[in-house]
C-alpha cells in the first residue's frame, strides 16, 4: 500500500473540499483501516532502525515536542512542496 499520495486519501480530501464531509470521513476511515493492516502499521519511513518505526503517532509527537526537525518520512513531502515554491519564485524572478 502506498501511504504518501494515496489515491483513496486524495479522494477523501476532494470530497471534503466539495463539502461532502460524511463521504470524506468514510474514505479517511477506509484509508486508515488499510494502513493499519500493513506491516508496521503502514509506516513508510525509510529509517527502519528507529525504535519508533511503525509507531507513527509517538514519532510525530516526539518530533513536535522537540520542535527541532521533522520526521524522516515527511522529508520527501516537504521537499516537493518547497520545490514548488522555489519554482514559483524562480519564475517570478525571471519575469522581472
Residue 50 near residue 38 (C-beta atoms within 8 A): no
pTM: 0.72
Distance CA 19, CA 15 (A): 6
53 contacts: CB under 8 Å, gap ≥ 6: 40, 43, 45, 47, 59
Q: What are the extents of the domains in the chain?
A: 7-95
Q: Give the per-residue pLDDT at 47.
A: 85
Please report, to the nearest 10 degrees, the dihedral formed by the alpha carbons of residues 12, 13, 18, 23 taken in order: 20
Work out the percent of the chain whose per-residue pLDDT is above 90.
56
Amino acid at each position: 500500500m502506498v501511504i504518501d499520495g494515496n489515491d483513496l486519501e486524495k479522494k477523501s480530501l476532494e470530497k471534503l473540499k466539495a463539502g461532502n464531509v460524511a463521504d470524506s470521513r468514510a474514505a479517511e476511515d477506509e484509508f486508515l483501516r488499510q494502513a493499519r493492516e500493513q506491516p508496521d502499521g503502514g509506516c513508510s519511513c525509510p529509517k527502519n532502525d528507529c525504535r519508533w518505526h511503525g509507531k507513527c503517532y509517538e514519532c510525530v509527537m516526539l518530533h513536535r515536542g522537540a520542535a527541532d526537525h521533522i520526521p524522516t518520512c515527511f522529508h520527501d513531502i516537504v521537499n516537493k512542496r518547497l520545490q514548488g515554491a522555489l519554482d514559483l519564485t524562480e519564475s517570478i524572478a525571471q519575469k522581472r
